[in-house]
Amino acid sequence: MATKEQIQISAVVSRTTRALLERQARASGVKKGYLIEQALRHHLQALEQLPADVVVHPRLVVSRRSGAAILEQLESGRPTDALRDLMRDGD
């Protein structure tokens, strides 16, 4: 039951997101409404406090050409020279 300080909102989400929400609610034993409020507060607070260039969004939009290049690299299983250099710099 909502208190005077609470309101109800509605949102359309993907089936995948709903499944993730339900799985997390079952695993943690908390109600879905509480889990949604905490996640939303956490996300909104991060957006307010962090510089925009450090926020990593859950979806990345690339061109068809870039997507094909990414897929080709993933399928090759070989690290790029830049990745090798990066890993060597840590030594």
Whole-model pTM? 0.58
| Assigned domain for 31 exists | yes
**C-alpha dist (Å) from residue 23 to 7, 28, 39:** 24, 9, 14
- pLDDT, tens digit (0-9, with 9 covering 90-100), for 42-54: 999 999 999 988 8
Q: Check if the beta carbon of residue 22 is closer than 8 Å to that of residue 33.
A: no
Q: Check if the beta carbon of residue 22 is closer than 8 Å to that of residue 32.
A: yes
Do 15 and 43 lie in one domain? The reply is yes
Q: Return d(Cα 28, Cα 34) in angstroms, integer.
A: 11
Q: Calculate the average pLDDT of the chain.
A: 89
| Assigned domain for 42 exists | yes
Residue numbers of the domain that contains 20: 8-51
Do 42 and 74 lie in one domain? The reply is no
| Assigned domain for 30 exists | yes
Q: Return d(Cα 25, Cα 31) in angstroms, integer.
A: 6
